[in-house]
Amino acid sequence: MSSETVISPPRPHFSNPPDYQFPIHRLARVLRNPDKQPIVLVACGSFSPITYLHLRMFEMARDYIRQHTDFEVVGGYLSPVSDQYKKPGLLNAQHRVNMCNLAAQQTSQWLMVDPWEAFQSYQRTAVVLDHFEHEVNTCLGGIAVPLSPSSSPSSPPSSRSGQQNPATQRRHARIMLLAGSDLIATMSEPGVWSARDLDHILGRYGALIVERAGVGAGADTDGAVDALARWRHNIHLIHQLVQNDVSSTKVRLFLRRGLSVRYLLPEPVVDYIEERGLYTDEGSGSGAAVGAGQAEWEKGKEKRSSSSSSGLGGC
Ligand SMILES: Nc1ncnc2c1ncn2[C@@H]1O[C@H](COP(=O)(O)OP(=O)(O)OP(=O)(O)O)[C@@H](O)[C@H]1O
Ligand SMILES: NC(=O)c1ccc[n+]([C@@H]2O[C@H](COP(=O)(O)O)[C@@H](O)[C@H]2O)c1
């Protein structure tokens, strides 16, 4: 093990869904620039359905990282939330994961979908990030660093642990949360996040926050970040240079009204929705549950911020 390897203490147990395998088919296993620190971006959310803005967040974050940090992006993951989140408008996890997979496969070279949280009980974001830490840094052993600038990053190690060449140094990958500014605004709302989780997420991992047009944008975002001043060094604000306020809520509303959503979502996702007639009625994640459903969901917030889950899992 090289002196560069920093393996943080793994969480001993995770509850994995049945037949779960952590997706690594697009994870760069070797760093291109040996002077950089690898970083993996993780976006947690409903993705009901996934829109171009969700995908665009990753591109904005990668540009920001290239221009302003010493990190090198080695992978990006969409992590759709469990059905147990029960947010109004949440279509079942299988459909949401399928749509995310279609979007990632057909529009990107580097995004992956991790179904870990989707296919089990609700997992808090702090636990989701720990899961990525465990998979990338404990199970895979981090990211390999080329020994010299002439080493080819195009020939990745063959084994799952990536230890083909014992002389290869391995570097700990930073896991970082990628989210819109509406999410950071909830971090100073009472009852949504526990203080311990906030410290864990923002202190240990950090967050890339994409300004969201119309929601918590501009001064609001600055205010939200001020409230989290303790972790300011670990919160990266990304401004949207082209404003776009597409949201899943609006997409669901359009579908319910029989309006076109083409060019708001990747084409294969539009086809998937149309072929199955998704989001057309109130009971199937149509976003219409803003009455009793919304109230019920709001009531559950406090419970979700503290309830934990752990079970047997592993690499
Ligand atoms: N237009 C947008 N600009 C910036 N961030 C966005 C935008 N749309 C979604 N996000 C971010 O993407 C992440 C996942 O989004 P999620 O699907 O939970 O939210 P959403 O699009 O707001 O859904 P809904 O409309 O159903 O509430 C969140 O961090 C959210 O802030
Ligand atoms: N306490 C927590 O861990 C906590 C609180 C609020 C939202 N979240 C996460 O943020 C993501 C987006 O949530 P919303 O769609 O409600 O904005 C979801 O993945 C959800 O699990 C986590």
Exposed (0-12), middle (13-18) or buried (19+): which is 279, by Cβ within 10 Å? buried
Nearest-angstrom CA–CA distance, 62 and 66: 6
CA–CA distances in Å: residue 237 to residues 43, 58, 79, 178, 193: 15, 13, 21, 10, 20
What are the pLDDT digits (tens) for 80-111?
Answer: 999 999 999 999 999 999 999 999 999 999 99
Give the ligand at the shortest distance from the Cα of 248.
1
Q: What is the ipTM of this complex?
A: 0.96
Confidence of residue 120 (pLDDT cuts 50, 70, 90): very high
Structural domains in the chain? 37-147+169-245 (3.40.50.620)
CA-nearest residue for atom 19, ligand 2, is: 45
Confidence of residue 3 (pLDDT cuts 50, 70, 90): very low
Enclosing H/E stretch for 248: helix 248-256
The whole-number pLDDT of residue 310 equals: 52
Which atom of ligand 2 is found nearest the CA of 85? 21
Name residues whose C-beta falls within 8 Å of residue 189's C-beta, 6 or more positions apart in sequence: none
Beta strand 143-145 pairing with 169-171: antiparallel
- C-alpha radius of gyration, the chain, whole number: 20
Listed in order, strand segments (DSSP E) in the chain are: 37-45, 71-80, 111-113, 143-145, 169-171, 174-180, 207-210, 235-238
Interval between CA 247 and ligand 1 midpoint (Å): 6
CB 4 within 8 A of CB 168: no
What are the pLDDT digits (tens) for 180-207?
Answer: 999 989 998 899 999 999 999 999 999 9
Q: Measured from the CB, is residue 192 less than 6 Å from ligand 2?
A: yes
Give the ligand at the shortest distance from the Cα of 190.
2
Is the dihedral angle over the CA atoms 40, 46, 52, 56 positive or is it negative?
A: negative
Confidence of residue 315 (pLDDT cuts 50, 70, 90): confident
Closest C-alpha to 75, from 123, 17, 140: 140
Give the ligand at the shortest distance from the Cα of 85.
2
What are the pLDDT digits (tens) for 275-292?
Answer: 999 999 865 554 334 455
CA-nearest residue for atom 22, ligand 2, is: 125
Which atom of ligand 2 is found nearest the CA of 122? 21
| pTM score of the predicted model | 0.89
Six token digits for residue 168: 């290869």
Average pLDDT of the segment spanning 211-224: 69
Q: Measured from the CB, is residue 98 less than 6 Å from ligand 2?
A: no
Residues with CB under 6 A from ligand 1: 43, 45-48, 53-54, 57, 89, 179-180, 182-183, 210, 212, 244-249
Q: Measured from the CB, is residue 174 less than 6 Å from ligand 2?
A: no
Which atom of ligand 2 is found nearest the CA of 186? 6
